[in-house]
Amino acid sequence: MIKSLAIATVWSTDQERDKKFFVETLGFTECMDMHMGDMRWVTVSPPGQPEVQLTLMRPDGPGLDPESQEAVLKLVSKGALSAGVFSTDDCHATYAELKAKGVEFVQEPQERPYGIEALFRDPSGNWYSLTQQRDMEGLDLSKPWSDCVSDEAEPEGPAK
């Protein structure tokens, strides 16, 4: 039986730079940084959530054939892949804090049926939803689902 999600992959074009972004800019905890042969295994955890780790994985490592490596690298560099949703109690305040630290946002905080959401990218190009969620009983269907991403971003439609 599955108990929980333990590790999720975030594609990284530069593990050192991305580790610094997650740890120093976003306030994550470094969990692991080790070499296993030619592969470097780097994991970080969101603040206060050590049971969940993101592995910052290079697309040119084991497990992908050369054609797939190239495709993943192209999609990540282009900013076409979403790597997840981060929860916050105050989207506007977290947006202001991260923007002041130089985080690239592709959408300012906006009202959505499920809460308030902003979208940002990591240095490799992966994009994330920063969401202040509404109680699901408080879903506000009068708020727009469309236009959840600015014209400059690659993804279209809701980030959920």
- The confidence score (pLDDT) of residue 38 equals 85
Write the burial class of residue 35 (CB in 10 Å: 0-12 exposed, 13-18 middle, 19+ buried). exposed
- Residue 13: count other Cβ atoms within 10 Å of its Cβ: 19
Residues linked to residue 39 through DSSP beta bridges, in sequence order: 36
At 89 the pLDDT is 96
CA distance 18 to 13: 8
Instruction: Give the model's pLDDT for residue 148.
Output: 47
Q: Which residues of 60-99 are buried (b: 16+ CB within 10 A; e: fewer)?
A: eeeebeeeeeeebbebbeebebbbeeeebeebeebbeebe
What pLDDT is stored for residue 141 in this prediction?
73
pLDDT at 138: 66
Q: What is the pLDDT of residue 143?
A: 72
Residues 6+ apart with CB under 8 A from 136: 114
Helix H or strand E segment including 98 = helix 91-100
Strands 104-112 and 115-121: antiparallel
Strand pairing category for 29-36 and 39-45: antiparallel
Per-residue pLDDT of the chain (160 residues; tens, 9 = 90+): 999 999 999 999 999 999 999 999 999 999 999 999 889 999 999 999 999 999 999 998 778 899 999 999 999 999 999 989 999 999 999 999 999 999 999 999 999 988 999 999 999 999 999 999 987 676 777 777 655 444 444 433 333 3
